Amino acid sequence: MGNPKQKWTQEEEEALRKGVAKHGTGKWKDIQRDPEFNKFLFSRSNIDLKDKWRNMFGGGSGQGQRDKARAKIKALAEAAPLAIQPFIPNASVIDEATGEIAVDGSAKHVDETKSTPRYDDMIFEAFTNLNEPSGLEIGVMISYIEKCHEVSQNFRRQLRARLKRLVALGKLEENQNRYKLKEDTPLIVKAAAKNPTLQEQDNRPRPVQSAGGAMFGETLDEAAVACAYRIAEAENKSFVAAEAVKEAERVAKMAEDAESIYQFTKEMLERCSGDEITLLA
DNA sequence: GTAGGGTTACCA
DNA sequence: TGGTAACCCTAC
């Protein structure tokens, strides 16, 4: 890829926006071919259009909606912090004086770490807090980080890249899409040293809360996250439907206007063709 | 033809 | 050095 990058101009972006408004997302070829926009987009391929739209708004489904989903998940997590991370051994929230897990501290911890820490910190935090001896699946890690931190648009891509990088650096090991901290990674040593019982806790089965407890073999954490996702997903669909209704209403209004103009023009034509002198206001 | 993940140039 | 945006690749 030695090609120099061709930055998008304001005109191109505007043409893309209008093209999407006219044809909808996913109709990149139609937009690109449309004579109205082609004069601005002739140097761009349909793929370019798709990529640019993804960069601008996070893809056809709308990054804004994905943000809303994330916000929803976070809101749920914050609304019920005890339900979401009740018993997970967490070196960050262990009371140094007593050695006990400070459950209330988990919410505080979440708040304190919201200020977009670096990916490495987030990754290691996930390893520490989710403490999975068999390795952490990337989806679980993403859910956890999205729940606890403000993340960028293409956070998932960046996270994957970062994980690969850490594997390459020998800080992590990957096995069947699960990531584990290498034994000699200082973080684990540090966490274990802080709380000597931590390693024992690792091997314990996760306790299940009786009130609305975990179901079907999931941990409570996973169940809560899955639940939050379902709700967010449903709300997304509702939002998309509402947008579609708005769009339909807008098109109907345009049709109505067009009809008025047509009637007016027709009337004028009739008057003019009938030798009638018509004054326009 | 499109979606989504990966790669890389560029910038702060 | 990390983040972003443009470009590339591949599966569907």
Chain C positions with an atom below 7 A of a protein C-beta are 2-10
Residues A129, A130, A133, A136: what is their CA dihedral angle, to the nearest 10 degrees?
Answer: -130
Where is pLDDT greater, at A8 or A201? A8
E strand residue ranges, A110-217:
136-137, 172-175, 178-181
- The integer distance in angstroms from the CA atom of A34 to the C1' atom of B8 is 31
- The integer distance in angstroms from the CA atom of A47 to the C1' atom of C10 is 13
pLDDT number for residue A243: 61
Residue A153 CB closer than 7 angstroms to strand C?
A: yes
Provide CB contacts within 8 A for A268, sequence distance 6+: A278
Residue with CA nearest C1 C1'? A118
**pLDDT exceeds cutoff 80 at A149:** no
Tens digit of each residue's pLDDT (9 = 90 or more) over A231-242: 555 555 555 566
For chain A, first and last CA: distance in Å? 62
Q: Which residues pair with A173 in a beta bridge?
A: A180
pLDDT number for residue A181: 73
Residue with CA nearest B10 C1'? A5
Mean pLDDT of A215-234: 49
Residue A9 CB closer than 7 angstroms to strand C?
A: no
pLDDT number for residue A108: 32
- The integer distance in angstroms from the CA atom of A60 to the C1' atom of B2 is 10
**pLDDT exceeds cutoff 70 at A96:** no
Q: How confident is the model at residue A127 (pLDDT cuts 50, 70, 90)?
A: confident
Tens digit of each residue's pLDDT (9 = 90 or more) over A183-199: 555 443 333 333 333 33
pLDDT number for residue A78: 39
Q: Which residues pair with A137 in a beta bridge?
A: A178
**pLDDT exceeds cutoff 60 at A124:** yes
| A156 CA: nearest nucleotide by C1' | B5
The proportion of chain A whose per-residue pLDDT surpasses 70, expressed as a percent, equals: 28
Residues A44, A156, A138, A167: what is their CA dihedral angle, to the nearest 10 degrees?
Answer: 80
Where is pLDDT greater, at A236 or A110? A236
DSSP letter assigned to residue A133: T
Q: How confident is the model at residue A126 (pLDDT cuts 50, 70, 90)?
A: confident
Residue A118 CB closer than 7 angstroms to strand C?
A: yes
**pLDDT exceeds cutoff 90 at A226:** no
| A118 CA: nearest nucleotide by C1' | C2
Mean pLDDT of A100-110: 32
Residue A174 CB closer than 7 angstroms to strand B?
A: no
Which H/E stretch holds residue A179?
A: strand A178-181
Q: What are phi and psi of A45, to 5 degrees?
A: -90, 170
pLDDT number for residue A31: 92
Which of A77, A98, A107 shows the shortest CA–CA distance to A223? A77
- The integer distance in angstroms from the CA atom of A199 to the C1' atom of C2 is 33
- Domains defined for chain A, CATH in brackets: 10-57 (1.10.10), 63-232 (no CATH)
Owner of token pair 């509702």? A238
**pLDDT exceeds cutoff 50 at A128:** yes
pLDDT number for residue A28: 93
**pLDDT exceeds cutoff 80 at A22:** yes
- Report which of residues 12-31 in chain A place their beta carbon less than 7 angstroms from any atom of strand B: 25-30
Residue with CA nearest B9 C1'? A5
- The integer distance in angstroms from the CA atom of A145 to the C1' atom of C6 is 27
Where is pLDDT greater, at A229 or A249? A249
| A30 CA: nearest nucleotide by C1' | B1
